[in-house]
């Protein structure tokens, strides 16, 4: 015995149709199929108020809705009603028939997920009567609704008025199903809805259709692939189709690429634009298959081997591990209450290309329960370091490993071109000769992040305490932004790798004033990589350019607005030397690759956009911004023109100055945005 249930509208109108021999497909003739019963149920809204206008449209009294049961109760009553009417046991299966996809995919499943209601199995497959109608009658004209189907099939709809409650629509659907069955149609291939996310991997050579991919933006940073799946619940995401995006530092940037099984599901996903995930609304846009592959696919053998053991496991990411941590340390950290799947084989340590630990690791767990308990250990200590733990994805594993093993985290700069003549420019006070910068892979340096903006060198030395005795002469390097103000970071050269390690272990997360400061051990090469996007190279200069060491750090020439401080024994001090004479008409040739700004007080920070001397960079000023506009919003406004958040500089008067890679890009952005937002804000070349 099987039955077909017609489901319409958000109020769950059901008509049951019964046949004696319908397994696994529904096939019968008219005299074997009858309408058993009819039932209408309303669901009480949780938050939204019911307007009088809506009640008039539905032709119902307000108390019918306000006095209705909640969704979980209605579904429970519905299941009991089915089994009583059909005298069916718990193992009986039912087939649902809907008018289109939206009722079940875009309403029922998302609402059940948001309310924590578990749906019975029979809600995960259904027949779309529109598809079944088209399969049986391909010659039929364009069909808008069930009323058009009934008209084509010469079904008398009588006095039906087809109100929004779906009562008459459901009755008509029952008649259409009877007609389809009497004409010999078989309900063979139901649409299916995925109940859980299936992880998987992609190769660089894989092809993904453009009409199956979306890009979502605005995710909470801790969102996992399962959270994305729940956001799109009711739609079928392809295996391994969730790829969280990372920024240049390897951290999540709040964006995700999602690959669906077909274009129909992708189109419905676009309708969830600005729906909420938790307390944040998520923007959903079209994307391309190439964009998805760039994020989801990887080339790391370590990642491929690790993910080959993934059999539906949940992956979490650990950050902040001691560099000496072992797999056994990780297993003991999680303990028996959340066992690691596969033991030591379920742990993947992230390493630099030189084989040294980064302090990150990916760990597999066999169940949601174990993964949930693992995440609860967030910010617990392993040794003397607290560990950050959050859910991860297969795509994130691929991205992190591929990026570390194949290319620097920060690009080397614009393409090299032939040097061009530019007027001689004064050398910034921060320009140092190479001997002042440590080099090599030895981790004899530390990086401080989160310093108060008022912090001075004396404050840093007091913060380090006894470890300050091991600072190299001229070894404290404050970092400034493009406006010449401290950005809260500093690099310190220690006399030995062991001293850097002890300083990082002892001072990490200590407070300086009201702010806690993060302290990381790093090498001279890593400092160069962070600041300049590649191995350190001194720019070649013509003889007409002043020698870098010829200008003292305290010399205010050409930098009247640069904050100056008195020299400190622990800070870099360059002796004042006579400046070589220059011909008034002399020009300087500078290469267009690495920036010329070095320690100790460079005018650019590790996270600020790199300055390329001699490049054709350009600026646009925005006027008329709303109060409180953030740099991220301005960067988003110029999406597609290569503007990172760090290239946006808010001014005290409320304007924003945005730097572009070339004048051509700036002009194009200016023209496009002026046409789009003409009259709402002013844009002009700065």
Helix (H, G, I), strand (E, B) or coil at 46: coil
Two structure tokens written together for 121: 């199995």
Residue 326 CB neighbours (<10 A) = 13
- Same domain? For 493 and 637 the reply is no
pLDDT in tens, 388-415: 998 888 888 888 887 776 544 333 344 4
Query: Residues 525, 439: contact at Cβ < 8 Å?
Result: yes
pLDDT in tens, 316-358: 999 999 988 999 999 999 999 999 998 998 999 998 877 788 8
List the CATH number of the domain containing 528. 3.30.70.330
> Does any domain span residue 610?
no
Whole-angstrom Cα distance, residue 474 to residue 432? 11
- Which of 240, 272, 296 is the last residue in one of the domains? 296
Q: What is the pLDDT of residue 435?
A: 39
> Does any domain span residue 241?
yes
Helix (H, G, I), strand (E, B) or coil at 239: strand
Whole-angstrom Cα distance, residue 2 to residue 92? 8
Query: Residues 457, 588: contact at Cβ < 8 Å?
Result: no
- Among 244, 97, 123, 102, smallest CA distance to 177 is for 97
- Which of 276, 296, 316 is the last residue in one of the domains? 296
Q: What is the pLDDT of residue 683?
A: 64
> Does any domain span residue 601?
no
- Same domain? For 427 and 512 the reply is yes
Whole-angstrom Cα distance, residue 600 to residue 623? 35
Strand 445-449 relative to strand 515-522, pairing:
antiparallel
- Same domain? For 461 and 573 the reply is yes
- Same domain? For 18 and 104 the reply is yes
- Same domain? For 27 and 59 the reply is yes
- Same domain? For 283 and 354 the reply is no
Q: How many helices and strands (H and E) does the chain possess?
A: 20, 28
Q: At residue 3, what are phi and psi to the nearest 5 degrees?
A: -145, 160
- Same domain? For 114 and 45 the reply is yes
- Same domain? For 329 and 377 the reply is yes
pLDDT exceeds 70 at position 172: yes
Q: What is the pLDDT of residue 266?
A: 96
- Same domain? For 291 and 313 the reply is no
Two structure tokens written together for 628: 């409180």
* pLDDT, average across residues 134-141: 93
Q: Give the pLDDT band of residue 446 (cuts 50, 70, 90).
A: very high
- Among 126, 381, 358, 308, smallest CA distance to 234 is for 126
Helix (H, G, I), strand (E, B) or coil at 588: strand
Number of independent structural domains in the chain: 5
- Among 193, 182, 189, smallest CA distance to 24 is for 189
Max Cα–Cα distance, the chain, nearest Å: 108
The string of DSSP letters for 548-559 reads GGGS-TT--TT-
> Does any domain span residue 393?
yes
**Domain boundaries, position 269:** 210-296
> Does any domain span residue 415?
no
> Does any domain span residue 283?
yes
pTM of the entire predicted model: 0.54
- Same domain? For 120 and 227 the reply is no
> Does any domain span residue 597?
no
- Same domain? For 291 and 312 the reply is no
Q: What is the pLDDT of residue 503?
A: 92
- Same domain? For 392 and 276 the reply is no
> Does any domain span residue 258?
yes
């Amino acid at each position: 015995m099987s039955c077909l249930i017609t489901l319409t509208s958000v109020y769950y109108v059901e008509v049951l149709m019964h046949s004696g021999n319908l397994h696994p497909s529904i096939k019968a003739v008219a005299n074997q199929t009858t309408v058993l019963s009819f039932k209408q149920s309303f669901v009480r809204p949780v938050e939204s108020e019911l307007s009088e206008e809506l009640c008039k449209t539905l032709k119902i009294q307000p108390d019918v809705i306000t006095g209705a049961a909640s969704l979980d109760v209605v579904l429970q009553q519905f299941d009991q009603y089915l089994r009583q009417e059909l005298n069916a046991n718990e193992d009986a299966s039912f087939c649902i028939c809907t008018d289109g996809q939206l009722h079940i995919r875009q309403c029922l499943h998302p609402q059940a997920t948001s309310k924590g209601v578990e749906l019975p199995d029979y809600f995960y497959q259904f027949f779309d009567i529109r598809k079944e109608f088209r399969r049986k009658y391909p010659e039929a004209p364009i069909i808008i609704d069930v009323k058009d189907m009934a008209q084509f099939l010469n079904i008398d709809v009588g006095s039906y008025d087809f109100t929004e409650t779906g009562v008459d629509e459901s009755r008509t659907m029952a008649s259409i199903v009877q007609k389809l069955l009497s004409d010999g149609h078989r309900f063979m291939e139901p649409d299916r809805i995925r109940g859980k996310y299936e992880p998987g991997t992609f190769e660089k050579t894989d092809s993904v259709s453009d009409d199956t991919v979306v890009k979502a933006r605005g995710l909470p940073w801790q969102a996992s692939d399962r959270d994305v799946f729940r956001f799109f619940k009711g739609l079928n995401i392809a295996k391994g189709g969730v790829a969280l995006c990372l920024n240049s530092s390897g951290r999540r940037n709040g964006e995700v690429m999602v690959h669906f099984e077909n274009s129909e599901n992708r189109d419905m996903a676009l309708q969830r634009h600005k729906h909420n995930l938790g307390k944040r609304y998520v923007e959903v846009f079209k994307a391309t298959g190439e964009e998805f592959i760039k994020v989801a696919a990887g080339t790391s053998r370590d990642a491929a081997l690790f993910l080959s053991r993934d059999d539906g496991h949940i992956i979490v990411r650990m950050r902040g591990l001691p560099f000496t941590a072992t797999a056994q340390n990780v297993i003991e950290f999680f303990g028996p209450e959340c066992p690691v799947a596969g033991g030591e084989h379920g742990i993947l340590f992230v390493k630099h290309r030189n084989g040294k630990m980064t302090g990150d690791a990916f760990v597999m767990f066999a169940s949601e329960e174990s993964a949930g308990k693992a995440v609860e250990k967030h910010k617990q200590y392993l040794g003397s370091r607290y560990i950050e733990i959050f859910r991860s994805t297969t795509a994130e594993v691929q991205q992190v490993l591929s990026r570390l093993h194949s290319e620097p985290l920060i690009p080397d700069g614009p393409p090299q071109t032939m040097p061009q003549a530019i007027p001689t420019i004064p050398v910034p006070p921060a320009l140092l000769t190479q001997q002042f910068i440590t080099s090599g892979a030895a981790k004899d340096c530390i990086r401080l992040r989160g310093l108060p903006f008022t912090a001075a060198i004396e404050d840093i030395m007091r913060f380090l305490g006894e470890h300050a005795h091991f600072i190299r002469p001229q070894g404290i390097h404050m970092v400034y932004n493009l406006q010449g103000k401290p950005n809260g970071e500093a690099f310190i050269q220690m006399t030995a790798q062991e001293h850097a390690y002890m300083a990082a272990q002892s001072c990490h997360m200590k407070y300086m004033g009201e702010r806690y400061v993060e302290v990381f051990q790093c090498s001279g090469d890593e400092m160069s990589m962070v600041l300049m996007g590649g191995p350190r190279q001194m720019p070649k200069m013509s003889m007409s350019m002043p020698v870098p060491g010829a200008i003292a750090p305290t010399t205010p020439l050409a930098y009247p607005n640069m904050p100056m401080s008195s020299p400190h024994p622990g800070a870099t001090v360059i002796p004042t030397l006579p400046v070589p004479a220059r011909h008034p008409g002399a020009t300087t040739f500078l290469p267009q690759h690495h920036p010329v700004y070095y320690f100790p007080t460079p005018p650019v920070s590790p996270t600020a956009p790199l300055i390329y001397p001699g490049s054709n960079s350009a600026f646009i000023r925005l006027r008329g911004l709303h109060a409180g506009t953030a740099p991220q919003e301005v960067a988003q406004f110029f999406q597609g023109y290569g503007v990172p958040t760090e290239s946006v500089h808010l001014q005290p008067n409320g304007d924003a100055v945005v730097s572009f890679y070339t004048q051509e890009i700036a002009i194009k952005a200016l023209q496009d945005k002026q046409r789009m937002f003409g009259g709402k804000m002013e844009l002009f070349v700065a």
